[in-house]
Amino acid sequence: MNNVVRLAIVDPDDTSRAAIKNLLLGMDMVWLEAECSRYEFFADVITQTQPDIALICLDSDEEKGLALIGRVTQELPGCSVLVVSSSTEGSLILHAMRNGAKEFLGYPLKWEDFLAALDRIQNTGPGKGGDGGSRSCQVIAVAGAAGGVGCTSLAVNLGCSLAKHERNNVAIVDIDFALGDADVWLDIIPDYTIHDVTENITRLDYSLLKRSLTQHDCGVYLLPRPVQITDDVTVNSEQLKRMMALLKATFTHLVVDISKSFSPLDLATMELADQVIMVTQLDLPCLRNVVRLMQYFDNFDELTPKIKVVVNRLGLEEEQISVNKALETIGRDIFWQIPNDYATMVEARNNGIPLLMQAPRAKLTKCVDQLAAAVDSSGSAEEPAEDQKKQKRSSLFGFLSSGSK
């Protein structure tokens, strides 16, 4: 796996070192390259193993540990130093950071804190100088401006398009607890659902989370909505963040199909996401909803810039509102257009087979592939076709040149 982070640990205390090792060994995206029980030997160990991250526990001897941080930072500038200590004393934290530590975490080490620190280290550049040895996870939320606009079909096929590339590890998460049907699109009868995750949220770990995921033949994983509609399934924002943090530590891409109610959980997902695809059609109710939703999203910090408007089923009817008029109505650019191909999409849905397997040569399939390339900041997906690039640069005015309303 190309997204694995190689880590070495030093801690003279056998008990705390074992506890941290057990936590790390449960994480698919962390490879424990080496462990050391003596501060004085650790610099030689990492010189030989060249890990991405050096985890240094300070509790056994703060003075030696702080000196080691400085030595590692100086001798191996490509290795990020992560410090763990049971002390929260400000002077100790400041000293460690001044010596070159990238992160300072409390002991006992918690999943959430470690994963958040790892994400920050990766986002500021991998320890080995950006050679691609580690990659942060991209979270893409897919929302609909109305029911029936093709939100789930796009989320599922977008996830499958991303998953066809070997270096990607992709999961689709369905958080429409009442009417989600991502499992239908992939013809999956899951053994576990998001209900199993939420029931055990207080003891959630990787083994439980992985048992809740089902892998499709195309490579994508699915965490589906509950089988039964029940009031027992309740998830708050903090529980969602814990679940997403664990998923982000394993996968390179998460595609989240949110509900149409824009509940607090949906909004929390959108705020966690790196990109939000807003699916709409060129009809008045949908475009009006886009305007209303964008006005609403303005109340949330940093949410509006993430949103990318995608027009689905272009050419569905001759009476559709033109792209020119739609741009005037919503007051923002359209990121992508997906042509209408009802027969191909319905056949794929009824067979429970993603487009890339059902109709790999269809124009619709190629368009979804190009959208996947456009939203994939890792650059692992295919480049958009030149004509799509031109259409995007020209604000997509060219598709409907007649019949403007």
Structural domains for the chain: 5-123 (3.40.50.2300), 138-393 (3.40.50.300)
- Percentage of the chain beyond pLDDT 90 is 60
Pick from 31-35, 83-87, 225-229, 348-352: least confident: 225-229
| Residues in CB range of 50: below 8 A, 6 or more apart | 6, 76, 78, 79, 128
- Amino acid found at 276: V
- Looking at per-residue confidence, does 384 or 180 come out higher? 180
The pLDDT of residue 207 is 62
More confident position, 156 or 30: 156
pLDDT in tens, 281-338: 999 999 999 999 999 999 998 899 999 999 999 987 766 799 999 999 998 899 999 9
Average pLDDT, the chain: 85
pLDDT recorded at residue 245 = 79
CA dist., res. 243 & res. 112, Å (int):
9
Evaluate the omega torsion of the peptide bond into residue 226 and state whether it is cis, within 30 degrees of 0: no
- Indicate the pLDDT class of residue 391, thresholds 50, 70 and 90: very low
Give the alpha-carbon dihedral of 201, 272, 297, 378, to 10 degrees. -150
Confidence of residue 378 (pLDDT cuts 50, 70, 90): low
Whether the predicted pLDDT of 231 surpasses 90: no
Q: What is the token pair recorded at 166?
A: 């070997």
φ/ψ of residue 277, rounded to 5: -90, 120
**pLDDT score, position 29:** 74
Answer whether 260's CB lies under 8 Å from 177's CB. Answer: no
Residue type, 51: P
Q: Place 183 in a pLDDT band, splitting at 50, 70 and 90.
A: very high
DSSP codes joined into one string, 259-299: -SS--HHHHHHHHH-SEEEEEE-SSHHHHHHHHHHHHHHTT
Residue 405 has pLDDT above 50, yes or no: no
pLDDT digit string (tens) for 49-69? 889 999 999 999 999 999 999
Average pLDDT over residues 19-23: 88
Please state which of the ranges 68-82, 116-130, 200-214, 253-267 shows the lowest mean pLDDT.
116-130
CB contact at 8 A, 391 and 336: no
Question: Could you tell me which residues come within 8 angstroms of residue 82 by beta carbon, excluding any fewer than 6 positions away?
Answer: 53, 54, 55, 56, 101, 102, 103, 105, 117, 121
Q: Is this prediction's pTM over 0.85?
A: no
* Contact between 354 and 160 (Cβ < 8 Å): yes
Cα gap 81→295, rounded to integer Å: 43
Q: Between helices 62-75 and 90-98, what is the axis angle to 10°?
A: 20
Please answer whether residues 100 and 56 qualify as being in contact, where contact means their C-beta atoms are separated by less than 8 angstroms: no
Is the pLDDT higher at 248 or at 40? Answer: 40
pLDDT digits (tens, 9 = 90+) for 128-173: 333 444 457 899 999 999 999 999 999 999 999 999 998 898 999 9
